[in-house]
Amino acid sequence: MASKLLHRHIQEQLKDLKEVTHESLVVGAIENAFQFMDEQMAKERRGHQAEGGCCALVVVYLLGKVYVANAGDSRAIIVRNGEIIPMSQEFTPETERQRLQLLGFLKPELLGGEFTHLEFPRRIQPKELGQRMLYRDQNMTGWAYKKIELEDLRFPLVCGEGKKARVMATIGVTRGLGDHNLKVCSSTLPIKPFLSCFPEVRVYDLTQYEHCPDDVLVLGTDGLWDVTSDCEVAATVDRVLSAYEPNDPSRYTALAQALVLGARGTPRDRGWRLPNNKLGSGDDISVFVIPLGGPGSYS
């Protein structure tokens, strides 16, 4: 549903702009489009059988500028003359811990008496009541000690680390579209209030740099980034594009294919493996490669 309709919402919002006097107007239009898309999903989810949710990563080119909007754990980078320019960040329970904790603190009813907005290094045991334990709340980046109370025995709102981090022990991504019916496992407690449909939008001015045919914007789902670093992507960009003539349009398709296949790995006795023998990505691996310079010319 998002892949068929989100770009239309963006078009509609941009049409309402009489003139673009500042890039913040474009950013606001994109943010509004994501919200309208999410609201449409809520209204029509039964008719479209759109009961789940999805991440969304969008690129808009307008008046010499590239706008990259991300809601979820997909990511985008620009590789320009070997330099890596991040154009998004992942939105996970770890990166958005303080936003989630603040909401749980301000609206404790959303926690249903089942969860605590506080974070502890590990799950608190009943025998530890009255003892001192490290904790952090919505205002803290560091850790401090507190005396353990009864409500601290509740399950933490944010738990786990890395790819195992979860909100309310259920979902590992904190921004996206849909998921209006998502509930905590074995509970009627809704998770949607903690999930934001608003994207982060970053802007890149194409006119500030002379781009060559090897300068690209790479978009990938988490299946790529889970097993591939930014530097490894940049190295693949250099390796693949250097094997093609600058005016060969198939070079960018070949690059996208190389990134997907590299993240998947090759089949071996113990599953799909990367060259370093680590497991290949078992997640969805989707990659877009967008050239920033004209084929065979500098622009």
pLDDT in tens, 195-234: 999 999 999 999 999 999 999 999 999 999 999 999 999 9
Question: What confidence score (pLDDT) does residue 233 get?
Answer: 96
Question: What confidence score (pLDDT) does residue 204 get?
Answer: 97
Question: What confidence score (pLDDT) does residue 297 get?
Answer: 42
Question: What confidence score (pLDDT) does residue 162 get?
Answer: 84
Q: Which two tokens stand for residue 126?
A: 């009943």
Is the pLDDT score of 299 beyond 60? no
- In angstroms, the CA 6 to CA 79 distance is 26
Is the pLDDT score of 72 beyond 90? yes
Question: What confidence score (pLDDT) does residue 271 get?
Answer: 83
Is the pLDDT score of 130 beyond 80? yes
Give the residue from 201, 200, 95 showing the smallest Cα distance to 158.
95
Give the residue from 275, 110, 298 showing the smallest Cα distance to 192.
110
Pairing verdict, β 216-220 and 166-167: unpaired
Give the residue from 146, 168, 173, 148 showing the smallest Cα distance to 158.
168
Question: What confidence score (pLDDT) does residue 50 get?
Answer: 62
- In angstroms, the CA 62 to CA 42 distance is 29
Q: Which residues pair with 68 in a beta bridge?
A: 59, 202
Give the residue from 156, 165, 174, 147 showing the smallest Cα distance to 72.
174
Question: What confidence score (pLDDT) does residue 131 get?
Answer: 96
Question: What confidence score (pLDDT) does residue 298 get?
Answer: 40
